[in-house]
């Protein structure tokens, strides 16, 4: 019995899943080590438009591309709402990638408009760094709000999915992907280990490692969700 269970658990992982997980944790650990032994190199490693940030953008674009491909491939089989939610996921990842690089502002040397000069904490053309009357939008929406959403998405929804057939049917039919148990555990580990970055006067660099880890973990969820059967043409949803 134990051997059968172990065998099934092994089959739940493939080489790509293991590779992506390995990349996530190795690159985060490199960042943590650099923060203690070489502050300058750590800054280069995690700076704006640096190695870690561009990996984050690439991960978002890969996830978006896969979502668009699925929507195009399955729209005749799954229907309008399935395609709409799948396309929306891709668009959200495109927007996140654009925000990450300030919509190419630094790449093309474009100047921020008056609105962003006045209200953006970094004078950049993006929305996640907006600041009104000393209150950072980033803190409210992308920290507090995102934390609440992650709890619901990573813990509550998968639990309901497994326990309630109506919830399962609803989420499957809408194409809403959910994390596997090991992916939820991995997120918790990422949150813990990125907090080990050595505190310094370099602001926000540990956040770059955290963003990278969360994005690549979500890419892993997009590729291998708990309910990956919904992307198989021959699967029929249970009514």
The answer to whether residue 1 scores a pLDDT higher than 50 is: no
Per-residue confidence (pLDDT) for residue 168, from 0 to 100: 96
Domain assignment of residue 160, yes or no: yes
Q: Is the per-residue pLDDT at 144 higher than 80?
A: no
User: Is 239 part of a structural domain of the chain?
Assistant: no
CA separation, residue 193 to residues 36, 46, 121, 238 (Å):
14, 16, 27, 40
Q: Which domain holds residue 58?
A: 14-231
174 inside domain: yes
What per-residue confidence (pLDDT) applies to 194? 93
Q: Mean per-residue pLDDT for 5-10? A: 41
Total number of domains constituting the chain: 1
So what's the pLDDT on residue 235?
Answer: 64
Which band of pLDDT confidence, cut at 50, 70 and 90, is reported for residue 27?
A: very high
pLDDT in the model for residue 9: 41
Average pLDDT score over the chain? 85
Q: Name residues whose C-beta falls within 8 Å of residue 159's C-beta, 6 or more positions apart in sequence.
A: none
pLDDT at 3: 41
Question: Cβ neighbours of residue 29 under 8 Å, at least 6 residues apart?
Answer: 193
Contact 89, 62 (CB under 8 A): no
Reply yes or no on whether the pLDDT at 170 is more than 80. yes
Residue 201 included in any domain: yes
Whether 8 has a pLDDT exceeding 70, the answer reads: no
In a domain, 176, yes or no: yes
Distances (CA, A) of 51 to 54, 96, 119, 147: 5, 17, 28, 26
Mean pLDDT within 117-142 = 71
Give the tens place of pLDDT for each residue, 44-99: 999 888 899 999 999 999 999 999 999 999 998 999 999 999 999 999 999 999 98
Residue 1 belongs to a domain:
no
**What pTM was computed for the model?**
0.85
Asked if residue 198 is part of any domain, the answer here is yes
- Is residue 8 domain-resident? no
CA distances from 130 to 46, 138, 194 (A): 21, 7, 24
CB contact at 8 A, 184 and 161 = no
pLDDT digits (tens, 9 = 90+) for 190-228: 999 999 998 875 556 788 899 999 999 999 999 999 999
């Amino acid at each position: 019995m134990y051997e059968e269970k172990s065998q099934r658990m092994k089959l739940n992982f493939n080489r790509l899943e293991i590779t992506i997980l390995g990349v996530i944790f190795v690159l985060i650990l490199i960042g943590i080590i650099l923060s203690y032994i070489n502050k300058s190199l750590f800054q280069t490693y995690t700076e704006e438009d640096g190695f870690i940030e561009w990996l984050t953008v690439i991960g978002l674009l890969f996830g978006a591309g896969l979502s668009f491909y699925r929507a195009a491939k399955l729209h005749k089989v799954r229907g309008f709402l399935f395609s709409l939610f799948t396309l929306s996921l891709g668009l959200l990842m495109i927007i996140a990638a654009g925000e990450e690089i300030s919509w190419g502002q630094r790449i093309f040397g474009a100047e921020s408009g008056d609105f962003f000069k006045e209200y953006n904490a970094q004078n950049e053309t993006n929305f996640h760094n907006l600041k009104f009357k000393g209150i950072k939008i980033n803190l409210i929406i992308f920290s507090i709000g995102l934390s609440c959403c992650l709890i619901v998405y990573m813990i509550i929804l998968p639990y309901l999915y497994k326990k309630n057939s109506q919830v399962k049917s609803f989420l499957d039919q809408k194409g809403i992907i959910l994390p596997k148990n090991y992916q939820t555990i991995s997120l918790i580990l990422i949150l813990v280990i990125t907090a080990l970055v050595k505190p310094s006067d370099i602001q926000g660099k540990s956040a770059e490692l955290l963003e990278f880890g969360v994005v690549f973990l979500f890419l892993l969820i997009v590729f291998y969700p708990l309910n990956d059967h919904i992307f198989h043409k021959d699967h029929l949803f249970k009514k």
